[in-house]
Amino acid sequence: MGYPKDNLAPDETVILHRHPHWKALVLPVLGLLLATGAVGAAWWWSRSLEVSDTTETVIGIVAGVLWAVLVIWWFVAPLVRWATTHFVITDRRVIFRTGVFTRSGIDIPMARINSIQFRHDLVDRILRTGTLIIESASDDPLEFNDIPQVERVHALLYHEVHDYLTEDDDETAQP
């Protein structure tokens, strides 16, 4: 699914649209498995007890509610957060948006980008992800974590900035 066209300026073109790398979902998936296993074990254990049907039903309901809360907390919320985080490069700017109820974002015009760096450790290199660091005019460097194929994105963004600045210089040089 592409970035919504109604969030772009007229004639603005999306060059790249990324969500954070899937590694951001590893812990939530482990949380889902852990919650399911723990609640399943508790339910199985409660079935082996000599208790009344009503007590067994109450234990089952409590286990189900506990499982639902843990799944929402550990899996659904991070999944929604991941799905609503967008890193977008257009022909005019870099866009970063995140959040569901409280949205936040930043737009960096191509003309204001001074330098572009990336950083990744061994695990990030294996997973082909990393941190993209963009320094814009008069601002502290902005770090965008878990960008998939960070080296490719770095090179693409560098070329876009170069093309944008070269195009801008050509327009100002003409009489």
One-letter identity of residue 39? V
SS3 at position 71: helix
Domain residue limits, the chain? 26-81, 88-170
pLDDT at res. 174: 58
Residues 6+ apart with CB under 8 A from 125: none
**Is the Cβ–Cβ distance between 24 and 146 less than 8 Å?**
yes
pLDDT, one tens digit per residue, over 140-157 is 899 999 999 999 999 999
pLDDT at res. 137: 81
Query: 21 — alpha (psi -120 to 50), left (phi > 0) or beta?
Result: beta
The chain-wide mean pLDDT, for the chain, equals 88
- Please report, rounded to a whole number, the percentage of residues in the chain having pLDDT higher than 70: 93
- 16-20, 44-48, 169-173, range with the lowest pLDDT: 169-173
pLDDT at res. 140: 86
Class of domain 88-170 (CATH, top level): mainly beta
